[in-house]
Chains A and B, each alone.
Chain A
C-alpha cells in the first residue's frame, strides 16, 4: 500500500477542483464536539412532569432508515408543554439532517403523534426549523453506539 497517497488532514488540504480532475475529494474523516455553550440539540435530561413524558415518548421514535432515536440523532431542538383552557399542549421544535429528506412528512407525523401520546397531554404540534444547522456532532454517545452497531461509521 506504499503507493496510496496520504489522505488530506484538514479542510485546507482538500484539493481545489480547478487544479485538475479529482475523483475522490472526501477522504478526510474528522470528529468534533458540540461546544459546551451549544443551545441545541436537547435531550430533556433536566425535564420533569409532562415534558419528561414527552421526551420519553420521543426517545421511542426512530429514524425511518436507521434504528436510532430522533433524540439521539440530535434532531430535537426543544420541547415545551403549556396548559390553558383548551387543554395541555406539547410543542416540539426539530430539524432534519437533509432538506430533501423524502421521509419528512412521515417523520414529522411520527414525532407529533408521539408527543401527543403521554397521559395528560391533549395535543401536540411540531415546528420544523433549519437553524442552527444540524451536524453529525449532534449525535449523542448512545446514538453513535446504535449507528455503529447498524454499520454506519461515525
Chain B
C-alpha cells in the first residue's frame, strides 16, 4: 500500500520528523565519510586516469552528502553542528565507509567502491518511491550521477581479475571488507518508522538480499567467492555505525577531518577572507 505523502519540513509530526532525520543522517554521513576516504587515493592512484576518476567520484559523493545535509538544515541545523562540531560517536555512517585502506592495495579501493555503489544504487532506487517530497525532488539528480560509479568499479574488477595475483587481491579485499559492507544494511533505531511512513518503503533487509544477489553473481563470474547467504547474519561487523558504534579507524579519520577546524579555534566555518563587498 502506498503511504500518504508527507508534508513540508515544518509540517511533519514528531514521529515523521524523527524518521526523516534518521534516514537523512544515514544517507549524508555515508556519502560524506566515504568521499573523504576516497580522497586518500588522490595523487596515489595506479594510473593518472584512475587517480582522476576516484577524485571525481569523491567529489560526486560530497555533492550528494551536501544534498542530504541541506535537508537536515531544513529543520534548523547549521553546518557546524552537522559536521564540524558533531561528536564522532554521533555519526551514523556504516563502518564500511570509514575503513582505512590497505596501503598500496588498489583492489581494496575498487572492492569497497563496488560494494558501496551497488548498495547506493539500490537505496536510491528504493527512494524513488519516497513519501517525502524534499527527498523525491533530489533523487533523479543523484541517480544521474551514480551509474558510472558502478561501471568504474566493475571495469576495474574485471581488469584486476584477469590474472591470478589480481584475483587473489580482490578475493582478500572481499573477505576483509564483507563484514563491514553488510553494515550498510543495518537498521537505525527508526527503521520501522522509515518503512511504515514510506520514507523509504523498501526495508533494508530486502535491499541486502538484492545486493547479495547482484554482487554475488558478478563476483562469482570473475572467480571470486562470497560468503553463503545463511552465514550473513553472523558475519556482520560488531560495530555497525548505524547505532553510533564505530571502529578505531573512524576516530582517526574524524580527528584528521576536524583538525584544521579545531586548530584554528573556529567557532564557525568562516571564510578565508572578508567579502570585499562588505569591507
| A4 contacts the other chain (CB 8 A) | no
List B52-85 residues whose CB lies under 8 Å from chain A. Answer: 59-64, 66-67
In the complex, how many residues of chain B place their beta carbon closer than 8 angstroms to a beta carbon of chain A? 25
Report the separation of the CA atoms of residues A131 and B136 in the bound assembly, to the nearest whole angstrom: 9
Q: Which residues of B contact A129 (CB under 8 A)?
A: 137
B40 to chain A: closest CB distance in Å? 18
Report the separation of the CA atoms of residues A21 and B154 in the bound assembly, to the nearest whole angstrom: 8
A112 to chain B: closest CB distance in Å? 11
Query: Mask for B140-157, Cβ within 8 A of A = 1, else 0?
Result: 111011000011001100
| A82 contacts the other chain (CB 8 A) | no
**What is the interface of chain B mostly: helix, strand, loop, or mixed?**
helix
Q: Which of B60, B62, B137, B155 contacts A22 (CB 8 A)?
A: B155
Extra contacts besides A17-B154, A18-B154, A99-B60 (13): CB < 8 Å: A17-B150, A21-B158, A23-B155, A98-B63, A99-B66, A99-B141, A99-B145, A100-B59, A101-B63, A129-B137, A130-B67, A130-B141, A133-B144
14 A–B contact pairs at CB < 8 A?
Answer: A17-B150, A17-B154, A17-B158, A21-B155, A22-B155, A25-B151, A98-B63, A99-B66, A100-B60, A100-B64, A130-B67, A131-B137, A131-B140, A133-B141
B residues sitting closer than 8 Å to A (CB atoms) are: 59-64, 66-67, 136-138, 140-142, 144-145, 150-151, 154-155, 158-159, 218, 221, 277
Closest 7 CB pairs of A and B: A100-B63, A99-B63, A131-B137, A100-B59, A130-B141, A130-B138, A17-B151
